[in-house]
């Protein structure tokens, strides 16, 4: 059995990360809630480890782009979660 090259493994994990982020975004948009323990976090960890080996600059840039997208997604989720909590709190206070 042959070993999978780091480049092939990196591309595979990068593709899975993209899919996970799209799923997490869709779930958040449809339900208004994030996924507990998102799978994307594990792919990021794996990609960082693989990236410590030799990987092309092009793939590293693609990874950075996806990480920036993930950061935006999580920032957006956090902001909306906080705003939703504030709105609920205001509704509760108004009902008193």
Q: What pLDDT, in 10s, does the model give residues 28-59?
A: 878 877 777 778 888 788 888 777 776 678 87
Report pTM: 0.58
Q: How far apart are CA 43 and CA 1, in angstroms?
A: 24
Taking the CA atoms of 24, 25, 26 and 30 in sequence, report the sign of the dihedral they define: positive
Higher pLDDT, 70 or 53: 70
């Amino acid at each position: 059995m042959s070993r999978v090259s780091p480049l092939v493994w990196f591309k595979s994990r990068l593709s899975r990360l993209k899919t996970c982020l799209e799923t997490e975004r869709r779930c958040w948009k449809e339900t208004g809630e994030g996924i507990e323990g998102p799978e994307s976090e594990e792919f990021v960890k794996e990609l960082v480890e693989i990236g410590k080996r030799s990987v092309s600059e092009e793939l590293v840039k693609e990874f950075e782009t996806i990480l920036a997208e993930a950061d935006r997604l999580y920032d957006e989720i956090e902001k909306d979660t906080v705003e939703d909590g504030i709105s609920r709190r205001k509704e509760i206070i108004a009902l008193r």
